[in-house]
């Protein structure tokens, strides 16, 4: 019983760690895609932010400067995406691919030029990272059975950016569904012409949307390199930007369902890591790669309309050209 409880607690903890960047990226993608801009460059932005954050934290020794630099880097990339897609009506998928490929190369080129460690940044001291924080009363409540243990083991003891990620979800929901800005943002993704007719600038709305996307992917990248790990290593995002994109679609472009999808995909990953090389009675060794591929398969099945229906914002992917 005790063993099972520890197993569950450890798996849940791993789930939270894996899901954090997914949640941030899924919320980021939601703002961009709800405004009508396809964003497959979540991966590239997160990677760029992870690299810059780790570099700045290594040089200055301050996690806060690292976070600021990470957000700035991802925002620059978001502006580049906006410049290509909003100002120049470029193909949004092509722009996203360009940013992903550019970042997978540039982070290594600059990393080797700056630090001479084969693309890795120097490992960070604890003071240059976001370390786990213990929430108030966690020591005291740890003695309380079940609820107290849950609080001290699961809710407390994560780093700051994890809490930011979990707070980002209600915040994103509130902004998108309870504010005037959110209403307009959703409208511009469905019918930009109507928004334009109402005298609201389509371009400015979409620029703000991609900037929010830059902010959130920046936090996600920073989380990877200076909170969850102590350095940047090449290609450290390892496809998580794409998983977040899958989670966003799996969650039908809605905050709470996307959040659920991120937790589900995080859980799958945590289980896959736990089951690595484990022989289950009756089944034998579980092919871990298939559990890791499950998010992609599930998303394809959902997109095919076999389990519910994911309907994208109507104007997604189409540049808005004002008729003259």
Partner 1 sequence: MSAAPAELPRWIDIGLIPVINICLALLVSGLIILAIGENPVEAMAIMIRGALGYGEGIGYTLYYTTNFIFTGLAVAIAFHAGLFNIGGEGQAYIGGLGVGLAILAFDSTLPFFLLLPLGILAGAAFGAAWAAIPAWLQAYRGSHIVITTIMFNFIAYAVMVYLMVNVLIKPGQMSPESREFAAAGQLPFMHEMLAGIGITVTPTPLNLSIVWALLCCVGVWAYIWRTRWGYELRAVGHNEAAAVYAGARPRHIVVAAMCISGALAGFVGFNEIMGVHHRLLLNFPAGYGFTGIAVSLMGRNHPVGVVLASLLFGVLYQGGAELAFEVPTITRELVVTIQGLVILFSGALAYMSTPWVTRVWRALLAWRAGAAAAEGA
Query: How is residue 26 written in tokens?
Result: 């899924």
Secondary structure letter of residue 133 according to DSSP: B
Closer Cβ to partner 1, 175 or 312, answer by number: 312
Contact between 108 and partner 1 by CB under 8 A: the answer reads yes
Query: How is residue 92 written in tokens?
Result: 């949004």
Size of the site for partner 1 (CB under 8 A): 51
Query: How is residue 293 written in tokens?
Result: 């591929």
Query: How is residue 32 written in tokens?
Result: 């961009």
The contact mask relative to partner 1 for 239-278 (x = CB under 8 A, - = no) is x--x--xx--x-----------------------------
Query: SS3 for 280?
Result: strand
Contact between 320 and partner 1 by CB under 8 A: the answer reads no
Cα–Cα distance, 129 to 142 (Å, whole number): 26
Secondary structure letter of residue 135 according to DSSP: P
Closer Cβ to partner 1, 10 or 293, answer by number: 293
Residues 6+ apart with CB under 8 A from 114: 55
Query: How is residue 172 written in tokens?
Result: 């994103």
Closer Cβ to partner 1, 227 or 310, answer by number: 310
Contact between 120 and partner 1 by CB under 8 A: the answer reads no
Residues in the chain: 324
* Burial label, 203 (beta-carbon count in 10 A; 0-12, 13-18, 19+): middle
Task: Determine contact, residues 68/243, Cβ cutoff 8 Å.
Answer: no
Please select the residue that binds partner 1; options are 73, 103, 176, 244, rule is CB under 8 A: 103
Among the listed ranges 108-116, 195-203, 224-232, 252-260, the one in contact with partner 1 (CB under 8 A) is: 108-116
Closer Cβ to partner 1, 139 or 279, answer by number: 279
Contact between 90 and partner 1 by CB under 8 A: the answer reads yes
Contact between 296 and partner 1 by CB under 8 A: the answer reads yes
Contact between 119 and partner 1 by CB under 8 A: the answer reads yes
Cα end-to-end distance, the chain, whole Å: 71
Cα–Cα distance, 236 to 279 (Å, whole number): 29
Query: How is residue 197 written in tokens?
Result: 């007719």
Find where tokens 């309907």 sit. Answer: 311
Contact between 229 and partner 1 by CB under 8 A: the answer reads no
Element (H, E) at 279: strand 279-280
Closer Cβ to partner 1, 78 or 161, answer by number: 78
Among the listed ranges 21-29, 163-171, 206-214, 285-293, the one in contact with partner 1 (CB under 8 A) is: 285-293
Among the listed ranges 82-90, 126-134, 218-226, 275-283, the one in contact with partner 1 (CB under 8 A) is: 82-90
- Provide the minimum distance between the beta carbon of 316 and partner 1 in the complex, in angstroms, as a whole number: 9
Contacting positions for partner 1 (CB under 8 A)? 38, 40, 80, 83-85, 88-95, 97-106, 108-110, 112-113, 119, 239, 242, 245-246, 249, 287, 289-290, 292-293, 296-297, 299-300, 303-305, 310, 312, 319, 321
């Amino acid at each position: 019983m005790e063993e099972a409880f520890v197993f569950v607690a450890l798996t849940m903890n791993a789930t939270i760690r894996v899901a954090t960047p997914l949640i941030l990226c899924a919320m980021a993608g939601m703002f961009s895609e709800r405004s009508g801009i396809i964003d497959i460059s979540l991966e590239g932005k997160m990677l760029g932010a992870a690299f810059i954050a780790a570099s700045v934290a290594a040089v200055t020794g301050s996690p806060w400067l690292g976070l600021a630099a990470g957000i700035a880097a991802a925002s620059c990339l978001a502006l580049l995406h906006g410049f290509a897609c909003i100002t120049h009506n470029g193909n949004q998928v092509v722009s996203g691919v360009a940013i992903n490929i550019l970042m997978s190369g540039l982070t290594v080129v600059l990393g080797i030029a700056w630090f001479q460690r084969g693309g890795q940044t120097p490992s960070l001291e604890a003071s240059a990272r976001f370390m786990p924080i213990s929430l108030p009363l966690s020591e005291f409540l740890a003695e309380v059975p079940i609820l107290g243990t849950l609080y001290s083991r699961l809710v407390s003891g994560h780093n700051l950016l994890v809490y930011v990620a979990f707070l980002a979800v209600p915040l994103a929901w509130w902004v998108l569904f309870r504010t005037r800005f959110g209403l307009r943002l959703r409208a511009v993704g469905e019918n930009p012409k109507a928004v334009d007719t109402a005298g609201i600038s389509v371009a400015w709305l979409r620029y703000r949307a991609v900037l929010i996307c830059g902010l959130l992917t920046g936090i996600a990248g920073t989380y990877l390199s200076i909170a969850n790990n102590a350095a940047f290593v090449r290609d450290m995002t390892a496809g998580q930007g794409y998983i977040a994109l899958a989670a966003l679609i799996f969650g039908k472009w809605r905050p709470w369902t996307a959040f659920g999808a991120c937790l589900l995909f995080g859980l799958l990953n945590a289980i896959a890591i736990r089951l690595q090389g484990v022989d289950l009675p009756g089944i034998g060794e579980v092919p871990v790669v298939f559990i890791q591929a499950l998010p992609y398969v599930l998303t394809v099945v959902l997109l095919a309309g076999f389990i519910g229906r994911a309907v994208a914002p109507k104007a997604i992917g189409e540049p808005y050209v004002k008729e003259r």
